[in-house]
Amino acid sequence: MKKTVILFLLFVANTAFAQWTTGTNILYTTTPVVSIGATTIQGQYGNPPNASVLEIVSAQGSSSYINLKSGTKGLFLGVDSIYGLGINISANDTFGFAYGATNVMKVNPITTGNPGGSLSIGTNLNPSGYKLAVGGKIIAEELKVQLQSAPWPDYVFRNDYKLPTLEEVEKQIQEKGHLINMPSATEVKENGFEVGEMTRIQQEKIEELTLYIIKLNEQLKTQEKRMQALEAKVNN
């Protein structure tokens, strides 16, 4: 006698949905939508609502997970009450977003240079020591740079600041070919420059120039007074 395995498959008369159950496990479908772990389709979002094609609902009601694994590599997609929506990848692996064979963006693994990981867009460069690498131009409505350590150059206006003389500035230019504290053209070409640090240095130079102008203005006023005094003597 042939053994027959009977799977209980319940169809509603109008064939609008079907469900398969063994114990507490439920597979519910309403073409073309499939729900695992629920007796109804819950993933309806938007206005008008659009049901998800595949949804997995937690029996506990607090978390739900999908885990794809091959060998030691794994990709975890889930939602829970602690972390909310999340994507987790196996340690020391890169998570990439590709368009065809082109890798357009990747999340780089945690390294000594990047303890919090980094993101690369349009480049395979792993920006050690930086959080973001972009192989191309960036458009932004506003960019805020907040320096963490270097002080803003208001120190230039303090009485104890040693303002270089114009002779010292001239000597620096003749010998080095660039201003004091400024990187050379060779350094910028090889290493680029930090936007925040460069802005700070440029502000330092602006404030130094302001002091030079103030001193020159004082000298002009002094000379003007002397000229007026000489003219007064001549006229008398």
Q: Is 3 among the domain residues?
A: no
Structural domain span for residue 126: 91-139
- pLDDT at position 234 is 87
pLDDT, tens digit (0-9, with 9 covering 90-100), for 125-164: 888 888 899 999 999 999 888 887 888 999 999 999 999 9
Q: Confirm if 147 and 135 have CB atoms less than 8 A apart.
A: no
* Contact call for residues 29 and 21 (beta carbons, < 8 A): no
Place of tokens 């000379």: 223
Q: Percentage of the chain surpassing pLDDT 70?
A: 77
Final residue before a domain boundary, out of 105, 139, 173: 139
Distance CA 43, CA 33 (A): 10
171 and 203 both lie in a single domain: yes
Instruction: Tally Cβ neighbours within 10 Å of residue 36.
Output: 15
Domain total in the chain: 2
Output the pLDDT for position 147.
Answer: 81
The tens digit of pLDDT for each residue in 165-206 reads 999 999 999 999 999 999 999 999 999 999 999 999 999 999
Please tell me whether the overall predicted TM-score, pTM, comes out greater than 0.85 for this model: no
Residues 203 and 231 in one domain: yes
Tell whether 231 is covered by a domain.
yes
Instruction: Write out pLDDT tens, residues 33-75.
Output: 777 777 776 666 666 566 566 777 765 567 777 888 888 888 8
- Domain boundary residue among 139, 174, 204? 139
Distance CA 233, CA 187 (A): 58
Here the tokens at position 24 are 């507490």
| 219 within domain boundaries | yes
99, part of any domain: yes
Task: Kindly state whether residues 172 and 215 are assigned to the same domain.
Answer: yes
202 within some domain: yes
Are residues 221 and 177 located together in one domain of the fold?
yes
Amino acid 166: pLDDT: 94
182 and 113 in a common domain:
no
Task: Give yes or no: residues 222 and 165 share one domain.
Answer: yes
CA 62 to CA 80: how far, in whole Å?
Answer: 6
Q: Indicate whether 118 pLDDT > 60.
A: yes
Residues 39/21, Cβ–Cβ less than 8 Å:
no
User: Are 132 and 160 found together in one domain?
Assistant: no
Q: Are residues 102 and 173 in the same domain?
A: no
Do 93 and 109 contact (CB within 8 A), yes or no?
A: yes
Mean local confidence (pLDDT), 1-16: 38
**Are 157 and 227 found together in one domain?**
yes
Residue 47 token pair:
């206005």
Q: Both 132 and 163 in a single domain?
A: no
Domain endpoint, select from 139, 174, 199: 139
Top mean-pLDDT range of 68-72, 83-87, 92-96, 193-197:
193-197
Q: Tell me whether residue 126 is in a domain.
A: yes
Count CA within 13 A, CB hemisphere, residue 137: 1
Residue 2 pLDDT > 60: no
Residues 169 and 214 in one domain: yes
Looking at the fold, whether 134 and 201 belong to one and the same domain comes out as no
Q: What is the pLDDT of residue 78?
A: 82
**204 within domain boundaries:** yes
Residue 47 maps to a domain: no
